[in-house]
Chains A and B, each alone.
Chain A
Amino acid sequence: MATKTNMPDVLIVGAGGTGAVMAKELAEAGLGVVVLEAGPWHDPQREFNGLEWDMFNPFDSLFRWGPLDRTKTPWPRVRDGIGLLFQTPGVGGNTLHYGANHPRAYMDSIETDWPFRYRDLVPYYYKVEETLPVQVPEIAATKDELFIKGCEAIGIGHVAGPDIRTSGWRMQPNAILPIAEDANPLVYPNTDGCVQCGECIVGCRNAEGAPLERTAKRSTNVSYAPLALKTKRCEFRTGVFVTQIVTEENEGTLRARAVQYREADGSLKEQEARVIVMACGPVETPRLWLSSGLPDNGHVGKYFTTHWFDYITGVFPHEVNMFEGQTSMVRAEFPGYGFFESQGAGPLTFALATSMGPKAVTGEGPWALSGRTWGSALKRRMEAYRRTLMLVVCVDDDGLAESSVSLAPGVADENNPAPLVRYRASDQTIRRRDWLSRRAAEVLIGAGADPDSIHRADAPASTVHQHGTMRMGFDPSRSIVDPNGEAHGVAHLFICDTSIFPNGIGGPNPTLTAQAVATMISERIVARYFAE
């Protein structure tokens, strides 16, 4: 029997990239907010050590998806047609582990499938960009200078941001503090901002000695969550896992009334709230929905998109040192196809990202090597690590009904049935990905890479970017939430994470758009349920 506790205005499930945004906006609007988060609130200065394996291996690392006690196994996930699943528990969620690239969506992708116009999003983009803040770096590392050189060499011109409708390269809009001044010693407050360490995806802990709120990469644990706390109207409960959305029916109307959650000690509690917001991401949100027995119109969990990454690499006659500078400081946009960008990585990430492809690569292009590279081929590529430039391709992939999240028969963790995550690519997605990969290879050759060194990984799909499964729309028979983010058929229940995206926004990194949409939904919640 679950124990009940006092009722807040709004309860948010998940303190990741969007839940923390929602918490800050609603608390600043004067509402009492409780956020329930499966993981801890990390102290980057004390806990992050810059080591790839310790920080994000899928078994027992700080960012692995599993119980707080890391001597216990990770939570099981069933995959079909997909490689690694990236899910990060903790305040900040996947933003703890991301590269902090914050471009806006491609304009036409919003106009095509979303239940509102691109221009409706723009004020919310501005608000998030100012809050984090988002800005382009004024200095480029060698890897990024080479990227620009390669683009120009093959006729890819510069395109001005932030609103993208045409192709071209541009400096990366990053949610990272301005680049710091050199100082001696290189310790806060002598230096304040991004110190170009290259560890964005390992987990930012710099500048050394900085208070939490001045951590350079603007994951929500150092940006939005502290702002929510500052209102004194928001409480974060960490290390608790929500197992059920509790509903009640009144005169034929279903409404969300509470959530049931499991404490770290295993006990179950119930928390009531006037409004409940799901911010668990495209895997956990449909899992929680289905585990709670909420209504399924046949579209719950469907139309999952991932931007199906690929990695194209080339070796130069001189040092590139991909580990220097922000993980990515420049990108090339191709509306209708997707984008690619420079990508820094430590040796382990580089090895794993580029070596685990299939035996036979799909598509033809200007690469000398392709697919999996194991054995001596991997070792020779790793010996050239310091001279290698890596580009990551993100495709505008079609959301197919077969690409889905459902409950896996016969597999469960201590909380609920495990999710079965399935990914399938359309022929159009494959053609777009091949096209982008060819262009990326041409950029590398244009920048001076040895043509005989070009390698296409043809990497399996992963969930570094993830969207869809609980799509937003007007039609209750074809979507899960309405244009305000409220569930069709379940009053007082909202979803604000990337699961509500009707498409993959054209290919760009989704975090900024997700945070802008969450900001918009927070206003709609206030207007609908808490207006004076």
Chain B
Amino acid sequence: MSTPEENALTIRAAAEVFVPGSPHDPTPGAADVHAELFISHYLDFLIPGLATGLPDLLNELSAATFDGRTFVDLSPDERLTILDQLSTHDVEQLRELPLVLGLLSIASVYGEWTGQDAEGALTRRPLGWQLTGFDGPSRGRRKLLRRPEH
């Protein structure tokens, strides 16, 4: 049985497979924004307890495949091997979990969550917009509008 801190680190390690940050990539990624908070919230929203159960499952698969090592101890490529194993798991309902993890991991960095306060108000520029140069929502792109005739 893992501690809440260990579970969080396992989910963070999974998120790094999709959007790596320091030290695996030169720009910030999932670990740098503590993506595990965002991901765990939605895992438990979908199925209460999933944010605990999924790390246990990843660790079980890791131990069986890589000589007893935990998921966090694996290299990025080895973690990917485990996620690929999960996507072909004998239990049909588990095969979707890598897709859900991928969606949430990518959203944790390229969605707006990192720019929002607890009430959802956008109070700063999200990391994803900084990484991509996106300007954010607009109430009009003047250069593409028609010129007044007068």
B134 contacts A51, CB within 8 Å? no
CA distance A508 to B79 in the complex (A): 41
Chain A contacts of B99 at CB under 8 A? 83, 356
Known: A51-B112, A378-B19. A183 touches B148 (CB 8 A): yes
B134 contacts A325, CB within 8 Å? no
Binary CB contact string for chain B from 114 to 150 against chain A (1 if under 8 A, 0 otherwise): 0000001010000011011111111111111111100
Q: Which of B22-30, B54-62, B63-71 contacts A (4 or more CB under 8 A)?
A: B22-30
B106 contacts A355, CB within 8 Å? yes
**A351 in contact (CB, < 8 A):** yes
CA distance A138 to B147 in the complex (A): 12
**A421 in contact (CB, < 8 A):** no
CA distance A376 to B143 in the complex (A): 34
Chain A contacts of B29 at CB under 8 A? 379
Chain B contacts of A220 at CB under 8 A? none
Q: Which residue of A lies closest to B25 (CB)?
A: A376
Contact of B140 among A138, A191, A386 (CB under 8 A): A191
Taking the closest CB of chain B, its distance from the CB of A48, in whole angstroms, is: 9
Interface residues of A in 194-216 (CB under 8 A from B): 195-199, 202, 206-208
Known: A57-B107, A196-B145, A198-B141. A385 touches B19 (CB 8 A): no
Q: Which residue of A lies closest to B106 (CB)?
A: A351
Judged by DSSP, the binding face of A is: loop
A52 contacts B140, CB within 8 Å? no
CA distance A181 to B29 in the complex (A): 41
**B76 in contact (CB, < 8 A):** yes
Q: Which residue of B lies closest to A187 (CB)?
A: B139
Contact of A352 among B27, B106, B132, B140 (CB under 8 A): B106
**A53 in contact (CB, < 8 A):** yes
Chain A contacts of B139 at CB under 8 A? 186-187, 195, 197, 206-208
Q: Which residue of A lies closest to B42 (CB)?
A: A59
Chain A contacts of B132 at CB under 8 A? 347, 382-383, 385-386
Contact of B18 among A53, A186, A359, A375 (CB under 8 A): A375
Binary CB contact string for chain B from 86 to 108 against chain A (1 if under 8 A, 0 otherwise): 00000000000001001100110
B137 contacts A374, CB within 8 Å? no
**B17 in contact (CB, < 8 A):** yes
Chain A contacts of B131 at CB under 8 A? 347, 379, 382-383
CA distance A348 to B128 in the complex (A): 8
CA distance A362 to B132 in the complex (A): 29
CA distance A59 to B45 in the complex (A): 8
**B1 in contact (CB, < 8 A):** no
Chain B contacts of A53 at CB under 8 A? 107, 111-113
A52 contacts B111, CB within 8 Å? yes
A49 contacts B137, CB within 8 Å? yes
A347 contacts B145, CB within 8 Å? no
Chain B contacts of A182 at CB under 8 A? 142, 145-148
B137 contacts A325, CB within 8 Å? no
Contact of B134 among A83, A179, A199, A346 (CB under 8 A): A346
**A365 in contact (CB, < 8 A):** no
Residues of B within 8 A of A (CB): 17-20, 24-25, 27, 29, 42, 45-46, 76, 80, 84, 99, 102-103, 106-107, 110-113, 120, 122, 128-129, 131-148
Residues of A within 8 A of B (CB): 49-54, 57-60, 73, 83, 138-139, 141, 179-183, 186-187, 191, 195-199, 202, 206-208, 323-325, 346-348, 351-352, 355-356, 359, 374-376, 378-379, 382-383, 385-386
Nearest 3 A-B pairs (CB), nearest first?
Answer: A50-B137, A195-B140, A385-B132
**Between-chain CB contacts (< 8 Å), 17 pairs:** A53-B113, A54-B120, A58-B103, A139-B144, A180-B140, A180-B146, A181-B147, A186-B139, A195-B141, A207-B139, A347-B131, A351-B106, A374-B17, A376-B24, A379-B131, A385-B132, A386-B133
Known interface pairs A53-B107, A182-B142, A182-B148; 20 further A-B residue pairs with C-beta atoms within 8 A, sorted by A's residue number: A50-B138, A52-B111, A53-B113, A59-B46, A73-B45, A73-B46, A183-B148, A196-B140, A202-B137, A206-B139, A206-B140, A323-B134, A324-B144, A347-B134, A375-B25, A379-B27, A379-B131, A385-B132, A385-B133, A386-B134
